[in-house]
């Protein structure tokens, strides 16, 4: 039986999602709870491996295990998990479903507090006292929308990921007084890509970089430039959208024929 | 030199505001920072002694110390204090100013999450899965508005506080989807009064008490009934309003003549 699980967590206390030796991770907490419930080791596969300190409202993972009532499974998991992780939904899915490969789009938000420090956002937003040029930041956001080679905006090499072309559907600055939210929705994001894009937009806001320089980075992908990997604690994985089964089947077929 | 200080804190890690032996409190943290700055012990007097786990957006305290630039004092304090306490303002005030006695009104908010548990409100809102009757809760709120003997709604005895008459200016239920906020603004609140009022409104919402029973409690103050002192972690001290110097002088004069 395959299950799809949607969950939220405060990333502050964890060394990221993915299992690590000698560090506390979200995956370990969940797999430990599943071991207690099913009395045998269960491996989970997540949509996104969020970094240390990154938060999630709508992370997704799947796993295979013997059949159980999904409602009861949700309650058992929440009973076993710590207070900073919460399972929102457990659904039985087709054996074909894959939490990572079937992703159609991911949505992230990055929170910046540009006013007086707010204790309730400690480790939950990036605190910035500098004056920011919001118009310039918006201009920079617009640059990213569309299909580009994001080679200048991530930390994986072309050897690891030969194809660094991704499509950004939404990149927008939302303001509510001193609170800024950078919204990113894209077909996929390479390693540290959201944080590096946020770092660029932020540096443009501070006047440390011009929009023209960012355009140059986008038009001529380059791995040798210093990238500003902004503080992870302002980052939230908001939502994972999945393609339907037919589209996923087509994607797998293209993959078999060596296309991308 | 007397200073008035406005601050915010997340109450989760503290045993309340007031100094205690063998427990970590907000007051101790602040007095330790002031000791470092002024190199001599400084006592602070707060507007409200919030309980263990209660949060604050706009707590106020005063203290006397040698003259320093208030702006620099704010920065020094924030540099020395932990991340869950933040000084919003330091102002020099008249030597007559008193953070507790000069209070004109206090505003509190109590947060209830009546939907799926939100990890970002863990220890910052009361989590409730029960169906609540919002109309009945609003009816109960209206009862409290005005001047009443709140003898049934606090845990101090008439020996400790002979006068338990207080005026509530605002008592309102604000809803945003599943998120409820109970707003309280009053001339003053007795020990545990906000939490006990909240508990009553909550029990009315759940159908465990009727509005008529609460009216009875209000009309016939009574200390013998069981009171439901709701979870402190949903409570926020929002704002302290002060009377002007003239009103405060009149209050002190009345006090000298034995009036209240």
pLDDT band at A223 (very low <50, low <70, confident <90, very high): confident
CA-nearest residue to A82 within chain B is B119
Q: For A122-173, how does the pLDDT look when each residue is reduced to its tens digit (9 = 90+)? A: 999 999 999 999 999 999 999 999 999 999 999 988 888 889 999 999 999 9
B8 touches chain A (CB under 8 A): yes
Q: Do A122 and B84 touch (CB under 8 A)?
A: yes
Q: Do A118 and B86 touch (CB under 8 A)?
A: yes
pTM of the entire structure? 0.92
Distance CA A73, CA A36 (A): 12
Give A86→chain B minimum CA distance, Å: 6
Q: For A27-85, how does the pLDDT look when each residue is reduced to its tens digit (9 = 90+)? A: 999 999 999 999 999 999 999 999 999 999 999 999 999 999 999 999 999 999 999 99
CA-nearest residue to A123 within chain B is B83
pLDDT at A259: 61
Contact of B66 with B14, CB cutoff 8 Å: no
B120 touches chain A (CB under 8 A): yes
Q: For B87-124, how does the pLDDT look when each residue is reduced to its tens digit (9 = 90+)? A: 999 999 999 999 999 999 999 999 999 999 999 999 99
pLDDT at A224: 78
The average pLDDT across A163-187 equals: 96
Give B183→chain A minimum CA distance, Å: 19
Percentage of chain B beyond pLDDT 70 is: 99
A84 touches chain B (CB under 8 A): yes
Candidates A10, A117, A123; nearest CB to B119: A10
A117 touches chain B (CB under 8 A): yes
B10 touches chain A (CB under 8 A): yes
Q: Known catalytic residue: B149?
A: no
Mutation for testing the A interface, residue in B50, B119, B129 having most A CBs under 10 Å:
B119
Candidates A84, A86, A120; nearest CB to B10: A120
Relative orientation angle of helices A70-80 and A26-38, to the nearest 10 degrees = 120
Spell out which residues of chain B touch residue A10, defining contact as CB-CB under 8 Å: 119-120, 122
B83 touches chain A (CB under 8 A): yes
Contact of B46 with B61, CB cutoff 8 Å: yes
Q: Do B124 and A124 touch (CB under 8 A)?
A: no
Mutation for testing the B interface, residue in A81, A119, A124 having most B CBs under 10 Å:
A119
Q: Return the SS3 of A84.
A: coil
Q: Return the SS3 of A123.
A: coil
CA-nearest residue to A7 within chain B is B119
ipTM above 0.95, yes or no: no
B32 φ/ψ sector (left φ>0, alpha ψ -120 to 50, else beta): alpha
What's the per-residue H, E or C state across chain B?
CEEEEEEEECHHHCCCCCCCCCCCCHHHHHHHHHHHHHCCCCCCEECCCCCCCCEEEEEEEEEECCCCCHHHHHHHHHHHCCCCEEEEEEEEECCCCCCCCCEEEEEEEEEEECCCCCHHHCCCCEECCCCCCHHHHHHHHHHHCEEEECHHHCCCCCCCCCCCEEEEEEEEEEEECCEEEEEEEECCCCCCHHHHHHHHHHHHHHCCCCHHHHHHHHHCCCCCCCCCCCCHHHEEEEEEEECCHHHHHHHHHHHHCCCC
B74 touches chain A (CB under 8 A): no
Candidates A9, A122, A123; nearest CB to B119: A9
pLDDT band at B254 (very low <50, low <70, confident <90, very high): confident
Give A146→chain B minimum CA distance, Å: 32
């Amino acid at each position: 039986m395959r299950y799809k699980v949607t969950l939220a967590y405060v990333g502050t206390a964890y060394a990221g999602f993915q299992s690590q030796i000698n560090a506390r991770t979200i995956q370990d907490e969940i797999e430990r709870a599943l071991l207690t419930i099913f009395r045998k080791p269960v491996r989970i596969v997540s949509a996104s491996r969020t970094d240390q300190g990154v938060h999630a409202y709508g992370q997704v993972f799947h796993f295979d295990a013997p059949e159980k009532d999904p409602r009861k499974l949700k309650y058992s998991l929440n009973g076993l998990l710590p207070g900073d992780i919460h399972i929102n939904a457990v659904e039985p899915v087709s054996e074909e479903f894959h939490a990572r490969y079937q992703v159609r789009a991911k949505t992230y938000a990055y929170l910046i507090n540009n006013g007086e420090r707010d204790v309730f956002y400690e480790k939950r937003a990036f605190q910035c006292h500098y004056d920011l040029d919001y118009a310039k930041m918006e201009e920079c956001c617009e640059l990213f929308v569309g299909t580009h080679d994001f080679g200048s905006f991530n930390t994986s090499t072309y050897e690891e990921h030969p194809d660094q072309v991704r499509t950004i559907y939404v990149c927008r600055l939302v303001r509510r007084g001193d609170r800024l939210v950078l919204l990113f929705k894209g077909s996929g994001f390479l390693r540290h890509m959201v944080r590096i894009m946020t770092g660029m937009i932020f540096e443009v806001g501070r006047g440390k970089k011009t929009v023209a320089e960012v355009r140059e980075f986008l038009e001529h992908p380059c791995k040798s430039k210093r990238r500003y990997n902004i503080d992870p604690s302002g980052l939230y994985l908001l939502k994972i959208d999945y393609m339907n089964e037919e589209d996923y089947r087509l994607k797998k077929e293209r993959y078999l024929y060596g296309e991308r």
